[in-house]
Amino acid sequence: MEEEKDNDLIRAYILAVVELGKDHEVAKAIKLLGNEVKVRTDLVFGEYDLVAVVESPSMKKLDQLITKIRSMDGVLKTITLIAS
């Protein structure tokens, strides 16, 4: 049985590498971007420092959010995974 997405929202996982010591600051800033999309962040250990889980009503809104994250002070690299 296939699980339905909440109201057909697009779910994406944004993995980010951030500057040393800026992980909490960047995570907080990303959460504040969640006015048009739902955003949750977790700090993680390993190759990436942070994972943002995003639920967006459209690809356009998701693209806008990703662009904002990529241009944030302290963000060095991102990888975006879109769930099917």
Structural domain boundaries, residue 14: 1-51
Q: What is the pLDDT of residue 6?
A: 57
Does residue 71 lie within any of the structural domains? no
Does residue 74 lie within any of the structural domains? no
For the segment 6-18, the average pLDDT, to the nearest whole number, is 91
Per-residue pLDDT band at 10 (split at 50, 70, 90): very high
Does residue 72 lie within any of the structural domains? no
Does residue 76 lie within any of the structural domains? no
pTM metric for this prediction? 0.87
Does residue 78 lie within any of the structural domains? no
For the segment 10-28, the average pLDDT, to the nearest whole number, is 97
Does residue 82 lie within any of the structural domains? no
Share above pLDDT 70 across residues of the chain, in percent, rounded to a whole number: 92
Looking up tokens 């997405």 gives 5
Does residue 20 lie within any of the structural domains? yes
Domain total of the chain: 1
